[in-house]
Structure 1
Amino acid sequence: MPERDLPLKDYDHLPVGSLTSRIRQLDAEDLTTLLDYERAHGNRFQVVTVMESRLAGLKNGAQPSGGDPAATGADAPPAPEGGSKASEATSGPPMNPPSQGDPTNPAQPRSTG
């Protein structure tokens, strides 16, 4: 089965973390199609496990939900909170340039030319 026929668009390019949210919108038939494709192509343990667990839930009465098809999941970095967490207490020791690399350093020998 070509990727273009799968129930999730661009499936092969989705980050693993976003799949959990995206597969929640699939019914058992679509999820089975996707699971078969995964087993035949990537067969990633984490992805197969999540899909099998969701499929078992659907077979036990769970319903497809409005999972966010655009969700980025755990692979995306958290949104920045703003501001710096650096302070005097968390900064490192002061650094002095090496004497041979700073012409303004009085310890550096000068040519008397």
Structure 2
Amino acid sequence: MTDPARNTLPLPGYDHLPIGGPESRIRSLSAGEVEEILVHERSHADRFPVTELLTARLERLRAGAEPTSGDPGAPRPEQGAGRTGSPVSPATSPQPFSPPPHGTPDRFGKPKGDRT
């Protein structure tokens, strides 16, 4: 069952943010909004680094700090349209090299010489 509070949190998609995700996003939130997220975090995932971050930000706001720039709806880097897959292709692969001295399944290794 979906929790309706998840759709009303001040940070869109909060439950899908990685641990480092909220840090830059909470800067623009008021003390009440940070407290709302903190209550949600404690009652759901209760991730220690996130609760510490939220608690510290809430204390700073209550001590007189003002919300600063930050965009709660900023695109999440984990959902970016970055490159996926390997950048290696046949065009960028190195040329084949000689087989290792111990051989390969289709080529026998060469003896090292007379060892005494």
Q: Same fold (TM over 0.5)?
A: yes
Partner of 1:86: none
Q: In the alignment, is the contact (CA less than 8 A) between 1:3 and 1:12 conserved in 2?
A: yes
Uncovered stretches (5+) of structure 2, i.e. residues with no partner: 79-97, 111-116
CA distance in 2 between counterparts of 1:106 and 1:35 reads: 64
Partner of 2:65: 62
CA distance in 1 between counterparts of 2:109 and 2:7 reads: 70
Structure 2 length-normalised TM: 0.63
Partner of 2:41: 38
Displacement of 1:16 after TM fit? Answer: 1.4
- 2:31 matched to 1:28? yes
Partner of 2:105: 101
If asked which structure has higher relative contact order (CA below 8 Å, sep 6+), I would say 1
CA distance in 2 between counterparts of 1:56 and 1:71 reads: 27
Structure 1 length-normalised TM: 0.65
CA distance in 2 between counterparts of 1:17 and 1:106 reads: 51
Q: In the alignment, is the contact (CA less than 8 A) between 2:102 and 2:109 conserved in 1?
A: no
Q: 2:10 aligns with which of 4, 7, 11?
A: 7
AA paired with 2:105?
Answer: G
Change in CA separation of 1:61 and 1:95 when aligned onto 2, cut-off 3 Å: farther
CA distance in 2 between counterparts of 1:9 and 1:34 reads: 11
Q: Deviations over 1:92-112 (max 9, x none)?
A: xx9616435244x685xxxxx
Q: CA RMSD in A?
A: 2.8
Q: In the alignment, is the contact (CA less than 8 A) between 1:38 and 1:48 conserved in 2?
A: yes
Uncovered stretches (5+) of structure 1, i.e. residues with no partner: 76-93, 108-113
Taking only the aligned residue pairs, the percentage that are identical comes to 39
